[in-house]
């Protein structure tokens, strides 16, 4: 639970990165890490990072802001691809099947 106020330097939080499981890894040797910062109105707030490579995922309801890095999210159902870069705000819906391709280590703050 968040206290009355929370301030954190999300761009510089140390994250423990682990290899993406083989069942999700599509190319390269991507690693991911997450730290939960707390919750707000029933949703988790946290920081997530992925190093270069590609992986598949099934999304939860989520809003995020890209802090740094670059990549794409491809939506398997439609074939549409969304470019990601610093400052982008994105809404994902539960159940969407995606392919994340990161070209520069990508860090985001999420609410899910």
Residue closest to 56 by CA, chosen among 32, 88, 40 = 32
Burial of 22 (0-12, 13-18, 19+ CB in 10 A): exposed
* Domain 18-111 CATH superfamily: Jelly Rolls (2.60.120.10)
pLDDT attached to residue 8: 84
Give, for all 112 residues of the chain, the pLDDT tens digit.
445 567 889 999 999 999 999 999 999 999 999 999 988 899 999 999 999 999 999 999 999 999 999 999 999 999 999 999 999 999 999 999 999 999 999 999 999 9
């Amino acid at each position: 639970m968040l206290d009355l106020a929370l301030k954190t330097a999300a761009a510089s939080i140390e994250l423990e990165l682990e290899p993406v499981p083989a069942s999700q890894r599509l190319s390269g040797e991507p690693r991911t890490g997450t730290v939960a910062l707390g919750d707000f109105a029933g949703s988790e707030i946290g920081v997530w990072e992925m190093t270069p490579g590609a992986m598949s995922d099934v999304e939860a309801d989520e809003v995020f802001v890209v802090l740094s890095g670059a990549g794409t999210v491809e939506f398997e159902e439609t074939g549409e691809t969304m470019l990601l870069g610093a400052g982008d705000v994105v809404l994902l819906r539960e159940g969407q099947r995606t392919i994340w391709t990161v070209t520069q280590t990508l860090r985001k703050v999420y609410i899910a």
